[in-house]
Each structure stands twice: as C-alpha cells, then as structure tokens.
C-alpha cells in the first residue's frame, strides 16, 4: 500500500481531521479521520456512509466528532468506491470492501496506535448493511457493530453469514422506512429476521426486555422502544432500537427531514460500543485430538483466549452438545438455519474444568460423537 496524499483540515480549535488515501488492490481509497486531542491507544469507530453519499456527509450526519472529543476515541469516515459499499445488497460490485476495511484498520494502527481490542463499525443504510457484513466476515477484528437502517443483505444472509466469534449487535430502524422496509426488501432481510439471527447466533434470551424512551419531541411523529436481548454468550448483547413511525434517517440528526429527535443515535451507539472489547487473538492451533477420517468437525484450540473452537467440515450441522465425564450437559447449541461448511463455533473453555468431555454433533438424521480434552 502506498500513501498518496495527506491533507490536514482544521475541524475545531484543537482537533484535526485528516483526509488520507492509500491504494488497495489497485484502487485509490480515501477516508477522513478525526483524532481527539488527548490520549493514546484509543478506540476506533468506523462510520460508513449510505448509498450515493460520502464520507463528509456521513461525518455531518452522524456528528461523532464531538462525542469522540469528549469520550476519547478516534472516528474514521471512509469513502466507498462510486459512493457505495459492496455490502451484499445486489449492487453488482466486485470491490473487496471487507479487505479494504481490514487494511484501513492496519493503516490507522500504524499511524495512530489505535487499540485493536476496541474497533467498532457503524453505518447508515448501505453503510449499515456493510457493518452487518463486517460482523459476518471480519468478526475477529470488529468488537461490535451498530447498524442504522441497514439489515443483513441477501448476499450475506443468515445462510452464508458465519462470524468466527460472538458479535455484540445494535440495530436502529424506523418502522416506516420507505427505502429499507422494516419487513424486508429484495436486497435485504427484515429487521425481525436480522435480530432473530443475531439472537440465535449469540445465544441470547429469545424474549427481549422492552423499555420506552421518553417522547421528548412530540412533533417528530415517532417514538423509540428499546428491545434488549441479553446477557448473551461471552458477555455479548443484541439491542434493537425500534423507531415506531420513523423513516429512513439517523435519529438525532436535524440534517434529515422527519428524523426522530427523542434519541441521538450516535450517543446511543457509543454507549453500546464502549461496553465491548475484543481480546487479542492468538494464532489458532489445530488440536491433535479428533483427527478421525471424514469427521464433520475439527477441534481447534485458541490457547490465548481460552476458546474451544469447532470448525464445520460439512454443511447442515444443526446441534452440538457437550457433556462432562459425569454425563452432565454443560453446553448446547442449536441453529435452525444449520451451520454451513467452514463455519466456526466458539465455546468458552473458561467455564469448564480440565478433563475429558463427550461432544455430540447432529447433522440431519446423522449423529456423531467424539471425546475432547480440555486443558
């Protein structure tokens, strides 16, 4: 990657917004970075614009800069190629935006020494879809996501979305959104299906705790209900901020006509993000255990984060159960969508004592049993 240009622009009296570019896969990619005046090893929030929009407009829409200055995090606003993101919504794009975001994280680490444990992604509309795709395909680098008016794209649906770890998710969506319909579109699944997917994936309570935000602005024609699914596995959580009567907008922003003004989406997103952190991930070491011929899963051990990892070698695995040596069930996973070949399921070994365990795997009408050793 070759840095092409750096332009410094005064964003406020003491803070700097940097417009930088680098070449990724033969294409010049640029982004705006806002760096607060204090601290080091700061968290990073990646804020992604909508379709036909751009980084500057997303910076104004989300207004993260002021929050970043107070809370102490770096926020970056990347530009998509042709004002779009390859987020799995049928734009016929071949751009590797997942790879670009990963390269962007590396670049900002070299330039600003960001905290790689606390990298977050959010976005509006097409950018929201892109944040969902990052949760699906870059989960080992993204600690949590918050999508505004963007569900899981049909090309990154629950049938192909296989995150490598549990991902905390916040979703904000208006029930009267006429661009990304709350009940689904021909390029994205519904809000309810999106939430159901993450609730199942993160092993959250199926029934949410619902609280209503005060209707402090009665003239905006909408109210907000918080649907909280948690706590989930590995201290995760899934949150839906349902904007009843809300349209295709970023709540709290006066730049979009008719936006809900009872909450400030950016503030809610940061309050959500700051609770979650991604530990450094060591190289995954394949265990010498379970190396049987034609096995449906391979046992993997991430020794640094004390995770048992099961890699699927066949499709259609619907249930995985772990028993201790006394025959007591200590873990159970069931996925109605069925895990696909190549998916990785994580089980936190910190909850288990060292010893021998029996692993049962169900795939369709077939069942498999293995012995595991937890060190």
As assigned by CATH, the class of the 285-374 domain is mainly beta
The confidence score (pLDDT) of residue 91 equals 81
pLDDT at 11: 32
In this prediction, residue 302 carries a pLDDT of 43
Tell me the per-residue pLDDT of 264-280, one tens digit each, with 9 for 90 and over. Answer: 999 999 999 999 998 63
Query: What pLDDT sits at residue 250?
Result: 97
Q: What is the mean pLDDT of each run of 10 residues along the chain (375 residues)?
A: 32 54 95 91 97 96 97 97 93 88 95 95 98 95 97 80 92 97 95 96 95 95 97 93 97 90 97 85 32 50 53 76 76 72 70 69 71 63
User: How much is the pLDDT for 300?
Assistant: 53
Specify the CATH number of the domain 3-273: 3.40.50.1820
**Predicted local distance difference test score (pLDDT) of residue 349:** 60
pLDDT at residue 324, as a whole number: 75
Domain ranges in the chain are 3-273, 285-374
pLDDT of residue 321: 82
Measured torsion, CA atoms of residues 51, 54, 56, 59, in degrees rounded to the nearest 10 = 40
């Amino acid at each position: 990657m070759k840095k092409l240009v750096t332009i410094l622009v005064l964003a406020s009296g003491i803070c700097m917004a940097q417009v930088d570019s680098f070449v990724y896969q033969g294409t010049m990619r640029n982004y705006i970075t806002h760096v607060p005046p204090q601290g080091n090893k700061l968290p990073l929030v990646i804020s992604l614009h909508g379709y036909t929009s751009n980084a500057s407009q997303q910076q104004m829409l989300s207004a993260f800069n002021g929050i970043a200055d107070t809370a102490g995090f770096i926020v970056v606003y990347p530009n998509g190629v042709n004002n779009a993101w390859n987020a799995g919504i049928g734009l016929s794009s071949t751009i590797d935006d997942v790879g670009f975001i990963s390269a962007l994280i590396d670049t900002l680490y070299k330039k600003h020494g960001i905290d790689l444990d606390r990298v977050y992604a959010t976005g509006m509309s097409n950018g929201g879809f892109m944040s969902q795709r990052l949760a699906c395909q870059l989960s080992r680098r993204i600690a949590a996501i918050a999508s505004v008016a963007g569900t899981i794209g049909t090309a990154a649906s629950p049938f192909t979305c296989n995150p490598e770890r549990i991902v905390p998710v916040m979703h904000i969506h208006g029930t009267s959104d006429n661009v990304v319909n709350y009940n689904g579109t021909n390029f994205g699944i519904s809000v309810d299906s999106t939430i159901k997917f993450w609730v199942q994936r993160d092993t959250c309570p199926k029934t949410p705790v619902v609280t209503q935000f005060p209707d402090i602005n009665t003239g905006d024609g909408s109210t907000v209900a918080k649907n909280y699914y948690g706590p989930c596995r590995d201290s995760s959580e899934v949150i839906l901020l349902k904007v009843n009567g809300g349209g295709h907008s970023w709540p709290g922003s006066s730049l979009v006509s008719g936006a809900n003004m009872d909450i400030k989406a950016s503030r809610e997103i940061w309050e959500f993000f700051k609770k979650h952190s991604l530990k450094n991930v060591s190289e995954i070491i394949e265990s010498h255990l379970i190396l049987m011929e034609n096995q449906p899963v391979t046992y993997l051990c991430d020794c640094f984060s004390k995770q048992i990892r099961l890699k699927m070698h066949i499709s259609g695995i619907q249930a995985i159960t772990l028993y201790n040596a006394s025959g007591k069930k200590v873990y159970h996973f069931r996925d109605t969508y069925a895990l696909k070949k190549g998916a990785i399921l994580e089980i936190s070994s910190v909850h288990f004592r060292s010893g021998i365990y029996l692993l049962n795997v169900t795939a369709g009408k077939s069942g498999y049993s293995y012995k595991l050793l937890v060190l």
